[in-house]
Amino acid sequence: MKIAVISGASGLVGKEILHQLFKSEDYDYVLSIGRRKLAIKQQKLVQIEGDMSKIASWDWQNKIASQSLGGEYHTLIESLNEKTADVHAFSSLGTTIKQAGSKEKFFAIDHDLVIGFGKWAKALGASKFLYVSASGADAKSSIFYSQTKGKTEEDLKAIGFDYVGLFRPSLLLGNRNEFRLGEQVASIVMKPLVWLKLFKNIRPIYDYQVAKAMVRTSLAQKLNSVEIISSGEMQDLSK
């Protein structure tokens, strides 16, 4: 049994990752982990909600079993408990400093919640972790956003997954739930690079391209490695 576990499924890239996972014939179940359930019904989808800052103490078995009145998730729970499932974790969890309200709250989401989810996924039996980072991620950067993404990457490497994929997209294009003026202006200025197919690593990339690249990478035979996937490489993988 192959199981995908995802956090950040309500976001721009997360929604597209879900779509790709649902389309894939390789994954039997998709577990969406978050503070609230998504307004989505799909045969593969199982949702677990709760305070993600306390994910280490979640009784996930009961959370799943309570949704399985007819026992349809018995095999899923059993395979996770017995570590017989092939589990791949995906994280597109993230926010902005403006949305979070402060640097401290931003770090708590973009670093702490991601690492907490990573450790939980590893304990669940995940062998691969695929993370939506950002172009310019660097733990030593003087830019707080890039520094946070870089620290998150470094701490994910230390958890001990067989494979860690660090996806570093450039400016993301797609239908966001909220309006971001800076990104709107930048996308207008940069979009001609997409049309002209120039400067693959710096031109904007669509949300579905990132998602396609992540799911294709997760299904490839990649073990005992850490891989940084650039924006240009994602565009190639999504063709």
Backbone angles phi, psi at 202, to 5 degrees: -115, -15
Q: Which amino acid is at 208?
A: Y
Which positions ≥6 away from 229 have C-beta within 8 Å? 165, 166, 167, 168, 213, 217, 237
**C-alpha angle 16/89/217, rounded to 5°?**
65
Q: Which pLDDT band holds residue 176 (cuts at 50, 70, 90)?
A: low
Helix axes 114-124, 144-157, angle to 10 degrees: 20
Tell me the whole-structure pTM to 2 decimals: 0.89
Residue pLDDT, tens place only, 30-73: 999 999 999 998 999 999 999 999 999 999 999 999 887 777 89
Closest to 167 in 3D by CA, of 118, 113, 205: 205
Cα-based distances in Å from 178 to 40, 98, 99, 174, 175: 20, 12, 10, 11, 9
Is the pLDDT assigned to residue 168 strictly greater than 50? yes
Residue pLDDT, tens place only, 4-35: 999 999 999 999 999 999 999 999 999 999 99
> CA-to-CA distance for 37 and 234, rounded, in angstroms?
29
> CA-to-CA distance for 14 and 130, rounded, in angstroms?
12
Mean predicted lDDT score pLDDT of the chain: 89
Between these two residues, 176 and 144, which has the higher pLDDT value? 144
Is the pLDDT assigned to residue 183 strictly greater than 80? no
Burial class (CB in 10 A: 0-12, 13-18, 19+), 16: buried
> Which superfamily is assigned to 2-172+206-237 in CATH?
NAD(P)-binding Rossmann-like Domain (3.40.50.720)
Residue pLDDT, tens place only, 103-116: 999 999 999 999 99
Q: Which of 63-67, 128-132, 150-154, 179-183 has the lowest mean pLDDT?
A: 179-183
What is the structure's pLDDT at 229? Answer: 96
Contact present, 35 and 11 (Cβ < 8 Å): no
Backbone angles phi, psi at 38, to 5 degrees: -85, 150
What is the structure's pLDDT at 239? Answer: 81
What is the structure's pLDDT at 177? Answer: 53
Closest to 145 in 3D by CA, of 199, 208, 100: 100
